[in-house]
Amino acid sequence: MKTEQVLADLKRRFPYEPEYHQAVEEVLYSIEDLYNQRPEYDNVNLIERLCIPDRIFSFRVSWVDDKGKVRNNMGYRVQHNNAIGPYKGGIRFHSSVNLSILKFLAFEQTFKNSLTTLAMGGAKGGSDFSPKGKSNMEIMRFCQAFVAELWRQLGADTDVPAGDIGVGAREVGYMYGYYKKMTRQFTGSFTGKGLAFGGSLMRPEATGYGNCYFLLNMLATKGVDIKGKRVAISGAGNVALYTAQKIMELGGIVVSLSDSDGAIIAPEGLSQEQFDYIFELKCYWRGRLSQVPDKYPSLQYFHGQRPWKLVKCDIAMPSATQNELDDSDADALLAQGCIAVSEGANMPSTAPAVHKFINSRILYAPGKAANAGGVATSGLEMAQNSQKLSWTAEEVDRKLQAIMADIHAQCVKYGRIDDNYVNYVRGANIAGFIKVADAMMAQGVL
């Protein structure tokens, strides 16, 4: 494989998809040595078949708002690769959604799902519909219209969606309900469902908690304790809030959160009472972080800013969205002595920022390893659904911790480089790639 040539071809054939190019580029440079040692891969042009999704569905979603006006959004499902299991990956509802973002997410998902050691292929879907400011009924009508187009492509052994940005338990419930109506089947064809109808305990917590478990594994390699460490977190959604909750439980100090309007800074660390208030504000009242200083004036709100340059921290856990931490943010974090970055979001650090972290030899965990606890627990939800059983929270948490330790071990195995530094990007990409590549080789040219 000549990596530059493969990338140039992809950019020529699929122009205007920068996030997709960025994700592919990172993986290709990590795996090129291994790939080139195995000519049998290149003989069947494995790399191109792995980079280009198996198939993509795109469709119009028409729905009626509360004023009776007909609205139109775009819907997509990218089924990237099912060499090791049914397609699996979340659905994102956000105004920024386009095919480039979903192709990057589906590509990443394939490697992430492989790392979990569970039998799941990679997929991602979504719409440029924004749930923000919509009524409950509007969201329900949109979810139903979305699934009316997509249900034929889904199924417990075919393609199993879950949540992502803008899609939580409420949206999954509406989509699963409509799927069930169309198919007349009660199967585990969505994950992230409510507990009363097949959801798994610990699934809401899993991505954030899993990222903390991964961080603990990384810190242990340096003999560093999380207790008393200042942790900057971005986002204030599912991943960020459960990350903050677990960090506080472990004795860390949470110094920031953010939403798409701005960041909240807690120079002395969030108290349990302040965190509980923010959790309720975001999860139950769908409020904004800008409202927080009204109740707690000691917490500072910075409109339109991200946390990285605003507060001193030992550890950064970006947990909002892609490319939310750039090279100048990386400079700021490194200058203040940040020792670890563990990504809750998918590809939150730009490529130049990642290079700076790795060149500085700090602990740096890419999202595809550190946030894999979410999809891993979705895999556990699928296992419970197929057995018609529910495991206890302790059981799921134990399995989650074991899976995160296993992912960490795989990263170390394939990521250790000359000076004994563990390059977790390289480790995650190689470990994820080998399993998928070998399965594709065994199954012939498809």
Return the active site residues: 124
As measured in angstroms, the least distance from the Cβ of 259 to ligand NDP is 4
Burial class (CB in 10 A: 0-12, 13-18, 19+), 395: middle
As measured in angstroms, the least distance from the Cβ of 232 to ligand NDP is 14
End-to-end CA distance of the chain: 20
Instruction: Give the binding range for ligand NDP (CB under 6 A) out of 53-61, 267-275, 315-323, 353-361.
Output: 315-323
Per CB under 6 A, does 371 bind ligand NDP? yes
Per CB under 6 A, does 239 bind ligand NDP? yes
Number of residues assigned to the chain: 446
Binding-site member from 160, 338, 341, 345 for ligand NDP (CB under 6 A) = 345
Kindly tell me which of 271 and 290 has the beta carbon lying closer to ligand NDP.
290
Strands (E), 82-172: 87-93, 122-127, 159-162
The DSSP annotation for 301-314 comes to EEET--GGGTS--S
As measured in angstroms, the least distance from the Cβ of 122 to ligand NDP is 12
Kindly tell me which of 377 and 385 has the beta carbon lying closer to ligand NDP.
377
Per CB under 6 A, does 318 bind ligand NDP? no
Task: State both tokens at 275.
Answer: 């965190």
Kindly tell me which of 397 and 437 has the beta carbon lying closer to ligand NDP.
397
Binding-site member from 19, 164, 314, 329 for ligand NDP (CB under 6 A) = 164
Q: DSSP H helical segments within 37-135, as ranges?
A: 39-43, 46-51, 99-115
Binding-site member from 73, 116, 238, 401 for ligand NDP (CB under 6 A) = 238
Instruction: Give the binding range for ligand NDP (CB under 6 A) out of 18-26, 147-155, 318-326, 426-434.
Output: 318-326
3-class DSSP state of 142: helix
Say if CB 104 and CB 73 are below 8 A apart. Answer: no
Per CB under 6 A, does 236 bind ligand NDP? yes
Say if CB 326 and CB 305 are below 8 A apart. Answer: no
3-class DSSP state of 167: strand
Q: To 10 degrees, the CA torsion angle through 106, 110, 113, 114?
A: -170
Q: Rounded to an integer, what distance in angstroms lies between the CA atom of residue 314 and that of residue 311?
A: 10
Per CB under 6 A, does 163 bind ligand NDP? yes
Q: In what order do the strands lie in the sheet with 122-127?
A: 55-64, 70-81, 122-127, 87-93, 159-162
Instruction: Give the binding range for ligand NDP (CB under 6 A) out of 18-26, 63-71, 248-256, 339-347.
Output: 339-347
Per CB under 6 A, does 243 bind ligand NDP? no
Q: Rounded to an integer, what distance in angstroms lies between the CA atom of residue 92 and that of residue 159?
A: 15
Kindly tell me which of 35 and 397 has the beta carbon lying closer to ligand NDP.
397
Per CB under 6 A, does 321 bind ligand NDP? yes
Binding-site member from 121, 235, 307, 427 for ligand NDP (CB under 6 A) = 235
Kindly tell me which of 165 and 265 has the beta carbon lying closer to ligand NDP.
165
Binding site for ligand NDP (CB under 6 A): 96, 163-166, 207, 235-240, 259-261, 319-321, 324, 344-346, 371, 374
